[in-house]
Amino acid sequence: MIKENKASKYLMYAIGEIALVMIGILLALQVSNWNENRIKQQNEVKILSQLNEDLKVNLIELKGIYESLNNSNSGGLKIINFLTSNKPSNDSLKIWTENFNNSNIFNNANTTYKNLENSEKISFLMILCG
């Protein structure tokens, strides 16, 4: 009877210890998951902020190109009007021609997108390689 009492006390103690260890492991996993989610959210905010900056740069550049194309269009229309009017050539024709030839190339600011795209490719390759 005494031995049975000690065995049952030891068994209860062992179950209690196992439960405490399991609770500790579950808490550690929960803290780890919480921390990973927090880091992911911080990265998302950083990436979205960088994408916003890229878009602002693109908008400024596109506004400049739009203005340049409008000037080019205006110069082209003046050239067409001049040529259809059969007037003698003057200095304005040279200025209109220069405005008309003004061409711009859009330099897309997409560094953040390319970095994100490359990081996703690297993550995918890491998953494939195990």
Q: What is the pLDDT of residues 71-110, one digit of tens each?
A: 888 888 888 888 888 777 666 766 767 666 666 677 777 8
Say how many domains are in the chain.
1
Residue 1 has pLDDT above 50, yes or no: no
Structural domain boundaries enclosing 56: 2-129
Q: What percent of the chain has pLDDT over 70?
A: 78
The residue with greater pLDDT, 9 or 116, is 9
In single-letter form, the type of residue at position 18 comes to I
User: What's the CA gap between 34 and 5, in Å, rounded?
Assistant: 43
